[in-house]
Amino acid sequence: MPELPITPITPVRLLFIDNLDSFTYILCDYLRRAGAEVAILRSDLPETWERSCALFERGEVEGWVLGPGPGTPSDYPLFKQLFSRWIGKFPFLGVCLGHQALAEYFGAVVKRAYRPMHGKRSSVIHTSSGLFFGLPCPTEVGRYHSLVVDGSTLPNGCQIDAWTEEGELMAFHSPSLLAYGVQFHPEAHATHEGEALLREFLRVVYDRRG
């Protein structure tokens, strides 16, 4: 896959919402290696809402990443605030918990997985759409979750991009809103094409500049 046409003078600037997950800084490092400048704010701090809005209003960041974390989307009231204000205005990438939060905001149901998948590798099938453009199919991914999005409950405006051999949803996106969700961890050692997938999200953000 060709590299992004980005120089150090014009990096893709992302705001990463840290949900106190042990993988946060590894994922942020992958994003930086892919060509991003990453600011991090914790979801549990009361000032995060105002600080995040200020960053976007000043034009200091141009895309969101909602990281993995414990619990369920309903445990994070900040998510609904962010989506209500910014969805459709800036690209979003949700990883694991963030993926579930995006899907739930769009009206989908989050349910128990077929079996818990903590530190497990799975082969996923994809449509080469969304962030999977140019990636081999099937591809291997690393999973750390016990909940999944019920793909049959996604609204018509969302497109299913990847799933397991058992039929569990692993990725989706909303083309019109530039919102992307992946259930697996792109930064996990078991994920073979994680950095390429993150570069594709950076390309989405970069292309939005016009």
Backbone phi, psi, residue 45, to 5°? -95, 135
- Give CA–CA dist 121/142, Å, rounded: 5
Long-range contacts formed by 4-8: CB under 8 A, 24+ apart: 4/34, 4/35, 4/199, 4/202, 4/203, 4/206, 5/206, 6/35, 6/202, 6/206
- Give CA–CA dist 61/3, Å, rounded: 21
- Give CA–CA dist 149/154, Å, rounded: 8
- Give CA–CA dist 83/79, Å, rounded: 6
- Please say if 187 is a catalytic residue: yes
126, 145, 173, 185: which one is catalytic?
185
- Please say if 96 is a catalytic residue: yes
| Cβ pair 48, 40 in contact under 8 A | no
User: Who's near 83: CB < 8 A, 6+ residues apart?
Assistant: 92, 101, 102, 105
28, 96, 99, 104: which one is catalytic?
96
62, 104, 168, 187: which one is catalytic?
187
Residues belonging to the active site: 96, 185, 187
